[in-house]
Amino acid sequence: MAEIAPLLRASDGGAGQDPLLCVAGVSKSFREGDEHQACLDNCSFDIARGELSIIIGPSGCGKTTLINLIAGYELPDSGSITLDGAPVSAPSFDRLVVFQETTLFPWMTVYANVVFGCKVKGVPQQEMQEKAKHILSKVGLYEFRDKYPSQLSGGMQRRTELARALINDPKLMILDEPFRGLDAMTKELMQEFYLTLFEETGLTTLFVTHELEEAIFMADNLVLLTHKPARVKEILKIDLPRPRHFSMMASKKYFDLHGYAMGLLVEEAKRAFEDGNAIAFDAVSSLE
């Protein structure tokens, strides 16, 4: 295997030039009974503008907690998170999350779901309609604008949620395992769809997944987290060319990156299992 050099070591902090998002020394714990359980410990990394960065780590290491902090749903115990130099202290349309579970309003049509944020912000009606038509056409749902979520396939629901975020022009798109639960074919189609969208727009994206194949196929940078309490173990530069296509998964470069990252993840999954995380057993078995 060719040597794979990490972009950053755990202590180096940010990545790349012109960072949009800066996570600096972030720690977070939660009370369990009479004790505090540490979830994140001195976690630091940067996300550069126009890049797709993926967070991956063992089950239960704190990935979703980290996303909640970046989204502004919770505050860190220590450290700081800034977007474009401004502290993150509350939710904002600058940082929008697409979750692994659908959050579409079932009583609203596709169109009504997509424009909901625009209405909250008071966007003028004509501008809102023009933006909705553009976004819905881009994600291939304009002809389905009067349908309800229950009338859509899983992939179409995912695209509706992406459209609902995109119409608000976020500085940072946050995707928390957005394709989890989809069948294999739909998942591949959604991966291709989002990559095409990303490569067309250059929208800075932070993506969380537990699937290493998905992570390497999609990412510019791979942020590997340790076992709980999570720290950044390494940040790997995924220097596969863009545009991406699935044939790259048969390349030597892909296999080298996959093997290197898998070794790091197995180390952390074993630590989690040894600490009593039964879910980590499946992770160790599937990676080795």
Could you give the CA distance from residue 81 to residue 72 in angstroms, rounded to a whole number? 9
Which fold is adopted by the domain 14-94+208-287? Rossmann fold (3.40.50)
Higher local confidence (pLDDT), 270 or 176: 176
pLDDT on residue 82: 96
Band (213; pLDDT cuts 50, 70, 90): very high
Strand partners, 173: 96, 205
Band (1; pLDDT cuts 50, 70, 90): very low
Residue 8 has pLDDT above 60, yes or no: no
Band (6; pLDDT cuts 50, 70, 90): low
Q: Rounded mean pLDDT of 236-264?
A: 93
* 271-287 pLDDT tens trace: 767 666 555 545 444 44
What value does the mean pLDDT of the chain take? 87
Residues 165 and 205 sit within 8 Å (Cβ to Cβ)? no
Find how far residue 30's CA is from the centre of its chain. 23
Closest by CA position to 184, among listed 214, 151, 206, 219: 214
pLDDT on residue 12: 45
- Which tokens go with 284? 């160790």
pLDDT on residue 40: 92
Q: Rounded mean pLDDT of 182-201?
A: 89
pTM value is: 0.86
Could you give the CA distance from residue 110 to residue 136 in angstroms, rounded to a whole number? 9
% residues pLDDT > 70 (the chain): 88
Residue 256 has pLDDT above 90, yes or no: yes
* 72-91 pLDDT tens trace: 999 999 999 999 999 999 99
Angle between helices 154-166 and 125-138 (to 10 degrees): 140
Residue 206 has pLDDT above 50, yes or no: yes
Closest by CA position to 161, among listed 113, 116, 127, 208: 113
pLDDT on residue 13: 47
* 123-165 pLDDT tens trace: 999 999 999 999 999 899 999 999 999 999 988 998 999 999 9
Residue 4 has pLDDT above 60, yes or no: no
Q: Rounded mean pLDDT of 212-221?
A: 94
Q: In 150-211, which residue ranges form alpha helices assigned H by DSSP?
A: 154-166, 184-201
Four-CA torsion 97, 102, 104, 110, nearest 10 degrees:
100
Residue 263 has pLDDT above 80, yes or no: yes
Higher local confidence (pLDDT), 142 or 58: 142
